[in-house]
Amino acid sequence: MRSRAPGTAESHDDSEAARAFEERRFSGPLGQMVAAEQMRVLANMIGRIHERNILDVGTGTGRVAAMLAGGGARVTAVDTSERMLDAALKRARAQLVDVTFVRADAHALDFESRSFDVVVCLGVLLGARDWRQCLAESCRIADRLVIFDYPSATSVALIHSNMRRIFGSGPYRVLTRAAVEDTLSKSLFRVRSVHRQFVLPMWLHRAMGSRRTSSRVEEVIDRLGLRRRMGTPVTVCAERM
Q: For helices 63-70 and 28-46, give the axis angle rounded to 10 degrees.
A: 50
pLDDT score of 9: 36
Distance CA 231, CA 195 (A): 8
pLDDT score of 210: 83
pLDDT score of 195: 96
pLDDT score of 201: 82
Question: Which domains can be identified in the chain, with CATH numbers?
Answer: 2-240 (3.40.50.150)
Distance CA 11, CA 14 (A): 5
Question: Is 26 strand, coil or helix?
Answer: helix
pLDDT in tens, the chain (241 residues): 443 333 333 444 445 555 565 666 666 767 777 788 888 999 999 999 999 999 999 999 999 999 999 999 999 999 999 989 999 999 999 999 999 999 999 999 999 999 999 999 999 999 999 999 999 999 999 999 999 999 999 998 898 888 888 887 777 899 999 999 999 999 999 999 999 988 988 778 878 888 889 889 989 999 999 998 899 999 999 999 9
pLDDT score of 2: 41
- Say what the alpha-carbon torsion angle 81, 82, 85, 89 is, to the nearest 10 degrees: -170
Give the pTM.
0.86
pLDDT score of 94: 97
Distance CA 227, CA 221 (A): 7
pLDDT score of 20: 60
pLDDT score of 234: 96
Return the beta strands (E) in 20-141 as ranges. Answer: 53-57, 74-79, 99-103, 116-121
Angle 53-57-62 (CA atoms, 0-180°, nearest 5)? 90
